[in-house]
A and B are shown apart, each in its own frame.
Chain A
Amino acid sequence: MKLEAILEAILFVSVEPVSVSRLIDLTGSDEASVCQALTHLESSLGKRGIRLYQVAEGYQLRTAPELVDLIEHVAERPPNLTNAALETAAIIAYKQPITRAEIESIRGVRSDHALSTLVSFGLIKAVGRHDTPGRPILYGTTPVFLEWCGLNSIQDLPDLTNDPDTTQQILDYS
């Protein structure tokens, strides 16, 4: 059977994004062949109901976005996060690893609830402890987070809006 078809089957049954190295291991093939087969798969799925996506440092089969209005009656969407959870997730995404105290000093409010929500959805996790008194937990994003927002890696986060040097602006005005 063609490698393309084999990959299709693996991705179908995996549901989660599968890395190229894992595909190489499973098929016994080499990187060049796997990548080429993936490219073929992507184009052959072009007009189909299932498409090939590159996300969370792997490949995943997902339904065609044009069908959203129909499919959302069949499958469940991820739930909407509150503003607090979204802000917390954004801070962690850009500044990880980061402690709860640091998150709270940016937001100006307590963030326990937001943190536990994000943990329960698997979007963030404890990645270690900060080497200061109290040894507070450090948080970071997970592959599930990448899958949620459709990014291939954390490096692909959009740039934060850049404000001109704050100090200079204030000095200019005073």
Chain B
Amino acid sequence: MTDLVVTIDGFDGPLDLLLQLIERQQMDIYDIPIATVTAQYLAYLDRIPELDLNRASSFMLMAATLLQIKARMLLPTTQPPTEDEEEDPRLELVTMLIEYRRYKQAASALEELAAAFNNSFAGPTRQELTSCEIQLQPPLFGAVPFRQALRQIQPRLIQEDTIIIRDQFVVARKIRHILKFLRRAAGPVNFTSLLTDRTPPDTVASFLAVLELVRLRRAQARQQTIWGQIMISLKARRKQREAGSNT
């Protein structure tokens, strides 16, 4: 048996492997010795290290197909053939191999055409055909001026190191703060006035606190228009107690 040195990665699939097995041993593709080819194919699969699952499945399928063809050729048919000529069990596989070979040869031809044509070069290199990487221009300015510019635009962003706050304590603190605020206020209060500073953590904590207060029926929130102001007001405690005693 001819020894095949190339690893499985040298093959673009089972058809490629089969074709090379056949061609290297100069087998007649129209009359493939199925038993021999199957044995070689299986032996080859045994010798290679683990395939990745994607490629393994195609190779396994081909192994099963070869075995099936071999079986069909060995076993007598259960029924007499209905047509004059019995279909050769290898027919489908051979058709596939020949079709594949045509395109493999076409691929070589295209490669040669391209290689010859690309001895001449077109203008400033055609971006698509060279690389998919985006070339970053070297910076026109350094990192320091950039940070300074950022600071000017949004001082809040570069204020301090990010501190990861444990949510529940902040919200609890916010609830107490908001209740105090609401009691002191004469009437409904705008949500934004409840905020200590306008940072995202503060806004989120305040909003969660409001939601919690609404859930606990300690406060109510109203928004007249979409994206409009949210007005928060204390819910009167008296009514709550009365309602509770009635249930």
Task: Give A residues with C-beta under 8 Å from B.
Answer: 12, 14-16, 51, 53, 55, 60-65, 68, 71-72, 75-79, 81, 83-84, 86-87, 89-91, 93-94, 106-110, 120-122, 144, 147-151, 157-158, 160-161, 163, 166-167, 169-171, 173-174
B98-146 with Cβ < 8 A to chain A: 98-111, 113-114, 116-126, 128-132
Cβ-defined partner of A65 (8 Å) among B90, B119, B128: B119
Asked if residues B12 and A87 are in contact (CB atoms below 8 Å), the reply is yes
Cβ-defined partner of B105 (8 Å) among A55, A61, A107, A161: A161
Asked if residues B111 and A148 are in contact (CB atoms below 8 Å), the reply is no
Let me know if B66 is at the binding interface, CB within 8 A.
no
Let me know if B94 is at the binding interface, CB within 8 A.
yes
Shortest C-beta distance, B235 to chain A (Å), equals 56
- Chain A residues, CB < 8 A from B120: 51, 53, 62-65, 68
A161 CA to B120 CA in the complex, in Å?
Answer: 28
Query: Which A residue's beta carbon lies closest to that of B90?
Result: A170
Asked if residues A89 and B107 are in contact (CB atoms below 8 Å), the reply is yes
A110 touching B54 in the complex, CB below 8 Å, given contacts A150-B114, A170-B94, A171-B85: yes
- Chain A residues, CB < 8 A from B129: 78-79, 121-122, 144, 147-148
- Chain A residues, CB < 8 A from B100: 106-108
Known: A53-B120, A147-B122, A158-B109. 18 other contacts (CB 8 A): A55-B117, A61-B123, A72-B121, A77-B121, A83-B107, A90-B109, A108-B13, A108-B14, A121-B132, A148-B114, A148-B118, A149-B117, A150-B114, A150-B117, A158-B113, A160-B105, A163-B102, A170-B90
- B interface residues, tally (CB under 8 Å): 52
Q: Is the interface of B mostly helix, strand, loop or mixed?
A: helix
A71 touching B12 in the complex, CB below 8 Å, given contacts A86-B110, A170-B31: no
8 pairs, CB–CB < 8 Å, chain A vs chain B: A61-B122, A61-B123, A71-B121, A108-B62, A144-B126, A161-B106, A169-B30, A174-B86
Asked if residues B95 and A166 are in contact (CB atoms below 8 Å), the reply is yes
- Chain A residues, CB < 8 A from B62: 108
Let me know if B96 is at the binding interface, CB within 8 A.
yes
A65 CA to B129 CA in the complex, in Å?
Answer: 18
Let me know if B58 is at the binding interface, CB within 8 A.
yes
Candidate in B28, B101, B111, B121 with the most chain A CB atoms within 10 angstroms: B121
Asked if residues B103 and A91 are in contact (CB atoms below 8 Å), the reply is yes
